[in-house]
């Protein structure tokens, strides 16, 4: 599966830098649902619904750069929120704007999108509203947000901190965590257990492929698609079948 990143017209100084990141490359071969299932299996927060692409059906994978926002009643003028992180962003980064799901004000806009594309940023997750959607689309920058608002962040929001752990619903996102966003939602993978989560997700892909192959071969779906097999509690179909039949006999 190829990510949206490859189609960007990157023109900024950093846009041409190498972005080889083995864990991100492995993540790019997956989709958000199997990564979510892997997180479930490890009892970790399993991603977020409700964050939708502001345009089209893009997908991206990358590393989180966090921006914590808070309300502002009109402080002193300064650089726009997020700009310090965008200016220092590296190819493959994903901007995570933590705005507590607020929909009454935008926390993302088109000039910020332009800055991102210049730096090789692959996507934006805005826990709140965004604006200038057509500009993001024209730039080819995926922006996942909870909605849109024409109301500027200026005078309404300010940057509380950058590079700190931020809360997005029940998920704590830290700088450098892996992110995958696609048509099923947005999933964050803690950097310190990425290897374990990816290995679990890759195993799920194999199990799902085996189940699909059985169904294509004519096995009834209510026999092939069994929780025991999906969860990987057995390594082989014979054991899964045995557990399935035991369960059926016990009336489960």
Ligand X SMILES: O=C([O-])CC(=O)C(=O)O
Residue 127 or 132 with smaller CB distance to Mg ion? 132
**Rounded to the nearest whole angstrom, what is the least distance from the CB of residue 199 to ligand X in the complex?**
39
d(CA 11, CA 212): 42
- The tokens for 116 are 């991102």
What does each C-alpha distance from 56 to 23, 128, 214 come to in angstroms? 26, 18, 33
**Is residue 131 a contact residue for ligand X (CB under 6 A)?**
yes
**Rounded to the nearest whole angstrom, what is the least distance from the CB of residue 111 to ligand X in the complex?**
4
**Rounded to the nearest whole angstrom, what is the least distance from the CB of residue 46 to ligand X in the complex?**
31
Helices in 88-236 by DSSP H: which ranges?
110-119, 133-139, 194-216, 221-224, 227-230
> Residue 119 binds what, of ligand X, Mg ion, none (CB under 5 to 8 Å, by partner type)?
none
**Rounded to the nearest whole angstrom, what is the least distance from the CB of residue 60 to Mg ion in the complex?**
22
Look up tokens 């890759």; give the residue.
202
Pick one of 110, 115, 123, 128: the residue that binds Mg ion (CB under 5 A): 110
- The tokens for 109 are 């806009």
Q: What is the DSSP letter of 80?
A: P
**Is residue 106 a contact residue for ligand X (CB under 6 A)?**
yes
**Is residue 109 a contact residue for Mg ion (CB under 5 A)?**
yes
**Rounded to the nearest whole angstrom, what is the least distance from the CB of residue 193 to Mg ion in the complex?**
38
Q: Which stretch binds ligand X (CB under 6 A): 16-24, 26-34, 149-157, 222-230?
A: 149-157
Q: Is position 115 annotated in a ligand binding site?
A: no
> Residue 115 binds what, of ligand X, Mg ion, none (CB under 5 to 8 Å, by partner type)?
none
| Collapsed DSSP state (helix, strand, coil) of residue 147 | strand
- Contacts for 237-244 with beta carbons within 8 Å, 24 or more apart? 237/210
d(CA 79, CA 57): 31
**Is residue 112 a contact residue for ligand X (CB under 6 A)?**
yes
Name the CA radius of gyration of the chain, rounded: 21
**Is residue 154 a contact residue for ligand X (CB under 6 A)?**
yes
**Is residue 111 a contact residue for ligand X (CB under 6 A)?**
yes
Question: Where do contacts with ligand X occur on this chain (CB under 6 A)?
Answer: 106, 109-112, 131-132, 152-154
User: Per the annotation, where are the binding residues for substrate?
Assistant: 109-112, 131
């Amino acid at each position: 599966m190829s990510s949206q990143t490859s189609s960007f017209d990157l023109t900024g100084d950093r846009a041409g830098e190498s972005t080889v990141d083995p864990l991100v490359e492995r993540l790019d071969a997956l989709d958000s649902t199997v990564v979510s299932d892997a997180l479930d299996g490890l009892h970790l927060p399993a991603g977020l619904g409700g964050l939708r692409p502001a345009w089209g059906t893009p997908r991206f994978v990358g590393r989180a750069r966090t921006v914590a926002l808070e309300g502002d009643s009109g402080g002193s003028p300064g650089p726009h929120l997020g700009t310090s992180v965008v200016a220092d962003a590296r190819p493959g980064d994903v901007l995570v704007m933590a705005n507590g799901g607020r929909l009454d004000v935008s926390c993302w806009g088109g000039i910020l999108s332009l800055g991102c594309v210049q730096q090789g940023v692959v996507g934006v997750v805005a826990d709140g509203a965004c604006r200038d959607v057509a500009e993001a689309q024209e730039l080819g920058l995926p922006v996942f947000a909870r909605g849109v608002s024409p109301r500027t962040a200026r005078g309404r929001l300010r940057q509380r901190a950058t590079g700190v752990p931020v809360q997005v619903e029940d998920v704590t996102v830290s700088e450098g965590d892996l992110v995958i966003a696609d048509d099923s939602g947005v999933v964050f993978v803690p950097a310190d257990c990425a290897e374990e989560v990816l290995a679990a997700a890759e195993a799920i892909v194999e199990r799902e492929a085996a189940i699909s192959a059985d169904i294509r071969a004519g096995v009834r779906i209510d026999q092939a698609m069994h929780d025991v097999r999906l969860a990987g509690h057995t390594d082989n179909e014979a054991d899964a079948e045995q557990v399935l039949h035991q369960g059926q006999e016990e009336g489960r």
